């Protein structure tokens, strides 16, 4: 085997390993535990956002001994560590109805009243 061929095979193997690590890596990220009074709207897999940007997801939800919700969130390496004093706020996603211009957003009966 020539040096050039050995170098090409070595480079190919390194590229395959790099792609494998990126695609199937250990998952990375930092896990934080948050205790909330109420987590009724949360489910495993929900997104975690900071300033509207997706930074991670909820990985586990358990009930604590004092009947609070213990939430495990995993924050992607690009956004970890979170700053000391970071506060968790649960917001539900809502969809509001927008009326076309010139119409009222009030409900109307079929008779128009």
15-55: per-residue pLDDT in tens? 665 555 555 445 678 999 989 888 888 899 999 998 888 99
Output phi, psi for 8, to 5 deg. Answer: -65, -45
Residue pair 63/69 in contact (Cβ under 8 Å)? The answer is: yes
Whose tokens are 């997104």? That residue is 47
Alpha-carbon gap, residue 59 to 72, rounded angstroms: 5
pLDDT of residue 104: 45
Confidence label for 72 from pLDDT (cuts 50, 70 and 90): very high
101 φ/ψ sector (left φ>0, alpha ψ -120 to 50, else beta): beta
Confidence label for 7 from pLDDT (cuts 50, 70 and 90): low
Confidence label for 62 from pLDDT (cuts 50, 70 and 90): very high
């Amino acid at each position: 085997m020539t040096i050039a061929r050995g170098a090409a095979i070595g480079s190919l193997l390194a590229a395959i390993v790099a792609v494998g690590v990126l695609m199937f890596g250990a998952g990375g990220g930092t896990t934080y535990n948050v205790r909330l009074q109420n987590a009724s709207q949360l489910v495993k897999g929900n997104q975690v956002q900071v300033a509207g940007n997706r930074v991670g997801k909820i990985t586990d939800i358990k009930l604590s001994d004092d009947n609070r919700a213990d939430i495990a969130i995993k924050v992607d390496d690009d956004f970890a560590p979170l700053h000391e004093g970071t506060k968790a706020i649960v917001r539900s996603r809502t969809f509001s109805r927008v009326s076309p211009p010139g119409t009222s957003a009030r409900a109307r009966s079929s008779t128009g009243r």
